[in-house]
Chains A and B, each alone.
Chain A
Amino acid sequence: MISFILISHDGRATTLQGAEGHSVMQTAVSQGVKGIVGECGGSAMCATCHVYVDEAWRDRLAPMLATEAEMLECTSSERRPESRLSCQIKLSAQLEGLVLRLPESQQ
């Protein structure tokens, strides 16, 4: 299992554990996290699993595909350089301890 930290918009940190290969979105939604919606189920089609990646982790994630980059133009909260779709972040040993912040809204 890989642990990662989600910090809600009002600053509360939660540590979640997910299986290697599962996405952050999938892991968070299945554990009842309300700040991630994931409406499209992980196809980078809806921009409702938006997260801000902590500065220290930004360069350690796999680079984004064109589909994700385009969908990030549709986020409900502000898009920033550290914005990613959490359905496209797959948990791996290298991401143990990953820190992500949730935006104010997803829809």
Chain B
Amino acid sequence: MSTSPSSPAASDAAAPAGVPVVDVDPFSNEFLTDPYADHERMREAGAVIWIPKYGIYASARHEEVRTILNDHATYISSAGVGLADFNKETPFRPKSLILEADPPDHTRARSVLARILSPKTVMQVRSTFAAEADALLDGLLQKAAREGSIDAVKDLAEVYPLKVFPDAVGLESQGREMLLLYGNMIFNAFGPRNELLMRAAEKVKPVTQWIMDHCRREMLAPGGFGDMIYQAADAGEISLDEAPLLVRSFLSAGVDTTVNGIGNALLCLAQHPEQYARLHADPSLARPAFEEALRYESAVQTFFRTTAVAAEIAGIAIPAGSKVLTFLAAANRDPRHWPEPDRFDIERRPTGHMAFGSGIHGCVGQVVARLEGELILGGIARRVKRLSLAGEPTRRLNNTLRALGSLPLKLEPA
């Protein structure tokens, strides 16, 4: 982290005329601990707002967030999808070939990853992922019986994605906790250089070194997702230099996201016993229940775009080169789009939620994420009659992720 500071100035930037100002710091500890009241304040202030603390435009409404994410020619990603503007400062790591890229470069990388993570390939790992979920949950039921409760973060939400996804990528089993440290760093780095990012970046050198070492072909098991990227390079679809960076995308985006997607879903179910009872009565609701949890407590809360040209949205003019923050999680509770948005309802069909983003940059791993979520929630539904909190859960604050530090749960066997 050696580039110049990215927060624009010590004093707040002047608001452009006609844009509602919301004086909020979406990367402060208070906001990140419980963002929902501020989400509402931003949504109600206007379709597009101005946040003076960082001198940025933002939207917290569903329609505008969706529009921005789907207009990738106007709202580009190659200038970074965090607060830092890569046209003005050097990215702290080589840019992602998929996340921080625009067409046509993005298209090439995207089609390789989309094929590797397609529903068809994911179907082939389903039985392995299911067996791992069953083994883990059987053990956890025993642990809960022995000790009275489990920590659903350390014992489950971190363990499962750290096992199945890196296995599928073809990563060795040693040292995988590095993936959590890396994910925590990457997702903090989309925000400002605040205390959260500084702390996450303390081990930037050894963690990055480990990650890049493990993106090399000889470190990846033949036939895994990582090896498939090198096969695409052999076939000339991407260059051999690009292959390790695409493997890096698996390692940055594939773990901390699902860890928190699963953790948040378990928390939602523990907090809504009547919903858990429905899931227990019909475990085939596991997939829609995971989907609703993604809407209700989105693991990824925000992403930035940058205007490539002068833009206009909802009657507000945004000059070229502006940073625009989209609040995915706030869009997911916009009453203009969702009836009773603050109600957690596993039988809602939340199609069109923004938790995976939308448009050409929509999460390329979403089929894998849904598989992991479905298998864990379904496995619990079949084994556990009642799920309840055994203590206060704690949040692990992150500039982008809605993450849990701990989630003590009691599991009453079925």
Contacts and interface: CB of A to CB of B under 8 A. Distances in A.
A67 B110 CA distance: 10
Given A40-B362, A43-B358, A66-B111, A29 B351 contact: yes
Interface string A73-92: 11000000000000000000
Contacts of B345: none
Interface string B326-362: 0000000000000000000000010111101011101
Contact of B366 (A29, A40, A73): A40
Contacts of A71: 118-119
Q: Is the interface on chain B under 10, 10 to 19, 20 to 34, or 35 or more residues? A: 20 to 34
A66 B107 CA distance: 10
Contacts of B151: none
B19 interface: no
B369 to A, nearest CB: 11
Contact of A45 (B120, B349, B366): B366
Nearest to B367: A46
B111 A40 contact: no
Interface of B: 111, 114-115, 118-120, 291, 349, 351-354, 356, 358-360, 362-364, 366-367, 370
Contacts of B362: 40-41, 43, 45
Contacts of A67: 111, 114
26 contacts: A25-B351, A26-B351, A29-B349, A39-B351, A39-B370, A40-B366, A41-B353, A41-B358, A42-B352, A42-B358, A43-B356, A43-B358, A43-B360, A45-B114, A45-B362, A45-B363, A46-B119, A46-B366, A46-B367, A47-B119, A66-B111, A67-B111, A67-B114, A70-B118, A73-B120, A74-B120
Contacts, number: 53
Contacts of A38: 351-352
Interface residues of A, number: 19
Contacts of B356: 40-41, 43
Interface string A18-41: 000000011001000000011111
B234 to A, nearest CB: 20
Shortest beta-carbon contacts, A-B, top 5: A74-B119, A43-B362, A74-B120, A38-B351, A41-B352
A43 B359 contact: yes
A103 B132 CA distance: 32
B245 to A, nearest CB: 21
Given A43-B359, A46-B119, A70-B118, A26 B367 contact: no
A8 B118 CA distance: 26
Contacts of B364: 45
B303 to A, nearest CB: 14
